[in-house]
Amino acid sequence: MNAAKKGIITKEMRDVLASESIDEKTLLQKMSEGKIVIPANKNHKSLRGIAVGEGMRTKVNVNLGVSEDSYDLDLEFEKVKKALEYKADAIMDLSIYGATKDFRRDLVEYSDVMLGTVPMYDAVAKYGKNIKDMTVDDLFEVVEEHAKNGIDFVTIHAGLNQVCAERVDNNPRLTKVVSRGGAILYEWMKLNNKENPFYEHYDRLLDICVEHDVTLSLGDGLRPGSIKDATDAPQIQELLFLGELTKKAWARDVQVMIEGPGHVPLHEIAANMQLEKKLCHGAPFYVLGPLVTDIAPGYDHITSAIGGALAAASGADFLCYVTPAEHLRLPDLDDMKEGIIASRIAAHAGDIAKQIPGAIEWDNAMSKARGELNWDKMFELCIDPVKAKAYRKSSQPIDGETCTMCGDLCPIKRTKDLA
């Protein structure tokens, strides 16, 4: 952000200029205003600059990481490789157990996309203390360790302060607090009768971000965990504080993203996007889904893609993927692929609606190939060519130019030469 204000084009900015339809002057201006961020820790040497924000392609994040109940670091690193293969734009390591630092270092060395973490999770794993007994220094030391390790953006639930906690207590929810990081801080505040350390000592957090060039992803600790709780007083109260914290970060040239709700009924999604952009001054918005119904365990990649498409069309800049395993277990490789592809479809659908330059041209190229019954070109343009080819191969038509849906009655074949 500081470089943008000075008119300096960094290596990461050049990466963005080469991959997005934006000119140098506009990129500098929007980065200076905080409307576009390029998360790029100076210690992440393998990074390819990727921009999130106004006028950029909607980006997709993949969550992974181990827990005590499912601890297989080799499998998680295989997920890292697959996430990059399936063209994720970001990876978040949400590990809450074991050799987190070693895994994080390997991730930084290997990945060329931006990396995020939630240091609060690691504080629990690192110190092995009861939540009540963690000190303010404990929490900030973990944030600093992640910054030194090369993490590009950190999710910090700094807006969940005592006022917000009171809103939770006075406004009953079906699902009280569903954010892991938010719940840890809520518990810490309650047990110690103290203010959220990240809110009270926010300047200390900004000092770390400035030193290591870390983007602050202001977490929504009170995001709704059910559509009944969406857009309620606790969620909006926290969002108001996030808007204030955004301005304080910008005053220090710290880049900011705002995290948004996870469960929102379809008719409230556009309003949620507008509220965030208004209350947080145009900062990039990162949504966790959102899921548009609560009844579909095993299919939540679909409920998420429906919400994600509308969110992206309404202004969301960054979608966190959701897999079929959501609410059920840690996802495996197949779950991860389903989640990434579903979120990428949602992001692209949103980009078409936002008229992001170049978005609809991909669809037009596919339509042209279909109109020519050019199967090789269709597969080349598929978001998942492996699956498309497998379906085609599994049911071969008599006439190789058509498919087994219509066969000889293929309307494109019967009409393309009549004009």
In tens, the pLDDT along 291-301 reads 999 999 999 99
Q: What is the CA radius of gyration of the chain?
A: 22
Tokens of residue 77, six digits: 């690193």
Which residue ranges make up the annotated binding site? 63, 92, 121, 157, 179-181, 220-223, 259, 263, 286, 327, 403, 406, 410
CB 119 within 8 A of CB 127: no
The distance of Cα 267 from the centroid of its chain, to the nearest Å, equals 22
Q: What angle do CA 226, 232, 233 make, to 5 degrees?
A: 140
pLDDT at 250 over 80: yes
Which residue ranges make up the annotated binding site for Zn(2+)? 263, 327
Tokens of residue 350, six digits: 């949103």
Task: Select from 419, 404, 321, 317 the least CA-distant residue to 53.
Answer: 317
How high is the pLDDT of residue 397?
A: 93
Rounded mean pLDDT of 153-167?
Answer: 97
Residue 246's φ and ψ, nearest 5 degrees, are -60, -45
DSSP 329: S
State pLDDT tens for residues 109-118: 999 999 999 9
| AA identity, residue 385 | P
Rounded mean pLDDT of 214-233?
Answer: 97
In the chain, the domains with their CATH numbers are 39-353 (3.20.20.540), 376-415 (no CATH)
pLDDT at 419 over 80: no
Residue 93's φ and ψ, nearest 5 degrees, are -90, 110
State the burial class of residue 390 (Cβ atoms within 10 Å of its Cβ: 0-12, 13-18, 19+). exposed
Rounded mean pLDDT of 207-225?
Answer: 97
How high is the pLDDT of residue 96?
A: 83
The distance of Cα 316 from the centroid of its chain, to the nearest Å, equals 10
Instruction: For residues 248 and 260, give the distance between their C-alpha atoms in angstroms, rounded to a whole number.
Output: 19
Which residue ranges make up the annotated binding site for substrate? 63, 92, 121, 157, 179-181, 220-223, 259, 286
Neighbouring residues of 225: CB distance < 8 A, sequence distance ≥ 6? 173, 174, 175, 177, 178, 262, 263
Instruction: For residues 167 and 165, give the distance between their C-alpha atoms in angstroms, rounded to a whole number.
Output: 5
Task: Select from 283, 301, 282 the least CA-distant residue to 291.
Answer: 301
Tokens of residue 144, six digits: 């600093």
> What are the start-end ranges of the E strands in 118-222?
153-156, 215-218
The distance of Cα 189 from the centroid of its chain, to the nearest Å, equals 27
The secondary structure element, H or E, covering residue 53 is strand 52-53
pTM (2 decimals)? 0.96
How high is the pLDDT of residue 140?
A: 97
Q: What is the bridge-based pairing of β-strands 36-37 and 52-53?
A: antiparallel
What is the overall mean pLDDT for the chain?
96
Predicted confidence band of residue 360 (pLDDT cuts 50, 70, 90): very high
Please count the CA atoms within 13 angstroms of the CA of 263 that sit on its side-chain side: 23
Predicted confidence band of residue 128 (pLDDT cuts 50, 70, 90): confident
Instruction: For residues 42 and 10, give the distance between their C-alpha atoms in angstroms, rounded to a whole number.
Output: 12
How high is the pLDDT of residue 191?
A: 97
State pLDDT tens for residues 192-201: 999 999 999 9
Rounded mean pLDDT of 199-213?
Answer: 98
State the burial class of residue 233 (Cβ atoms within 10 Å of its Cβ: 0-12, 13-18, 19+). middle
State pLDDT tens for residues 10-36: 999 999 999 999 999 999 999 999 999
pLDDT at 161 over 80: yes
Q: What percent of the chain has pLDDT over 70?
A: 100
Neighbouring residues of 291: CB distance < 8 A, sequence distance ≥ 6? 227, 262, 263, 264, 300, 303, 304, 307, 322, 326
Neighbouring residues of 310: CB distance < 8 A, sequence distance ≥ 6? 266, 269, 270, 292, 350
Which residue ranges make up the annotated binding site for [4Fe-4S] cluster? 403, 406, 410
Instruction: For residues 204 and 170, give the distance between their C-alpha atoms in angstroms, rounded to a whole number.
Output: 31
Predicted confidence band of residue 42 (pLDDT cuts 50, 70, 90): very high
Predicted confidence band of residue 204 (pLDDT cuts 50, 70, 90): very high
